[in-house]
Amino acid sequence: MNVDQVKGHWHELKGKIKQRWAKITDDDLLLIEGNAEELAGIVQKRYGVAKDDARKQAEDFFRSCGCG
């Protein structure tokens, strides 16, 4: 995952994250700050999915946005 790309487009990506995972809050986005592991943890917590599934969802999301 290209951290520089994620941080460079973070403002744009926040909106896409909220579209993809509606249960993620603005406070969650402050914690995530472009970190795929943090996103996976929040997805796991908010949606009650397994850790591996949440990690895959986060990685797939960043990859689909051209940041992976």
Query: At 66, is the pLDDT very low, low, confident or very high (cuts 50, 70, 90)?
Result: confident
Rounded to an integer, what distance in angstroms lies between the CA atom of residue 58 and that of residue 52?
10
What are the two backbone dihedrals, phi and then psi, of residue 33, each rounded to the nearest 5 degrees? 45, 45
Within a domain: 29: no
Within a domain: 47: yes
Within a domain: 23: no
pLDDT tens readout for residues 35-62: 889 999 999 999 999 999 999 999 999 8
> Would you state the pLDDT for residue 15?
92
Residue scoring higher pLDDT (11 or 50): 50
Q: Do the beta carbons of residue 1 and residue 36 sit within 8 Å? A: yes
Print the domain residue range for 51: 1-18+35-68
**Summary mean pLDDT of the chain:** 88
Q: What is the domain count for the chain? A: 1
Q: Which helix (H) or strand (E) holds 22?
A: none
